[in-house]
Amino acid sequence: MTTVRALGLVAAGAAAVSIGVSAAPAQAATSYVALGDSYSSGTGTRSYIADGTACQRSTYAYPSLLAASKGLTLNFRACSGATVADVTNTQLSALSSSTTHVTLSVGGNDAGFADVLTECAMPGWASNCNGAIDAAQSFVNNVLPGRLSTLYTSVRSKAPNAKVVIVGYPRIFMGEDCNAFTWFSPAEETRLNAMADLLNSKTSSAAAAKGFSFANPTSRFIGHAVCDDVEWLNGLSDPVSESYHPNRPGHASGYAPTVSTPLTGSAFSLTAATSQKAALSADRLAAQQRTYAVRDASITPKEFRAPDLSTAEVKAAAARAGVDLSSRASIDKADRVWSERQAR
């Protein structure tokens, strides 16, 4: 009797262990939704997933690298050209109460930053760079904060349990223009960098008001701007859509470390294993994002446009400035005179 009873207790215990193991809930994958514009999608890295959109999502972008490094399951909704309205209308549906991590960069397109860069890249005698910057600054000071506040409220409502990190913009320039077919003056570059600082300031304040973290990439990108010895930001590029965006090192060494600690509580450094894991996620991400392709088609690309000196407006400006458009020396000389006036 004792032996039989003991065997019965052992069998019962084994059954209990078996039941306990089978009944234990599977650990849910950590859900990370990356929202925003081209600075989050990966425009500038020159390699994009085949998701049937013009969003230019890259496995070299910081959301993909962070997901691979930290074991997060990524829904990669960030899309080149996105404004606050685009994020609201096409991206927020990816959020839910089960979302655990969210990153978001947006605001530069609302301020028309690509158009401002386009204007300022022209020779000074043929453009109104200061006027374009003034208009953008007014928008960022007076309109953008309200838009961001409304958006951030929606993010928190749709993802009540998520850690949310709002991501800023780097300073693009280092004070000189080394590209052959753009004419940014030192004074213009200083003002454009100040524009990035203003965007970050207003975005950071709006984020803090909602209890969100803010990841500011400014300090990490110092020494790696356009025309620095080691660029983390593209200058004028071919294709032109790659221009003035973070390249692969910009995401791996600039953005990913900046965002990682506030988002995950741990530091980031790129490894071969992380790079491989991110690359292998391309097919899954592409299939996932194809389901959103109709929505993403509503987003209008906002791209820098290379200077065009053949237009009627430029020809008229050249005539007023005494510039011979058939002579690069004449074009550059007049631009230097313009830049020197700005510096006074």
Q: Which residues are catalytic?
A: 38, 245
Dist. CA 155–CA 282, nearest whole Å:
26
Dist. CA 176–CA 173, nearest whole Å:
7
Find the DSSP H helices in the chain: 2-23, 38-41, 62-70, 84-86, 113-121, 129-142, 144-158, 186-209, 218-221, 248-249, 256-264, 272-280, 282-290, 293-296, 312-321, 328-343
CA atoms within 13 A on the CB side of 169: 28
Cα–Cα distances in angstroms (integers) from residue 307 to residues 181, 182, 231, 331, in the given order: 7, 7, 22, 13
DSSP 112-171: THHHHHHHHHS-GGG--HHHHHHHHHHHHHHTHHHHHHHHHHHHHHH-TT-EEEEE----
Angle at 274 between CA 44 and CA 255, to 5 degrees: 40
Find the DSSP H helices in 42-82: 62-70
CA atoms within 13 A on the CB side of 280: 8
Preceding peptide of 307 cis, ω within 30°: no
Cβ neighbours, 10 Å, residue 56? 25
Select from 109, 121, 123 the least CA-distant residue to 39.
109
Dist. CA 42–CA 54, nearest whole Å:
12
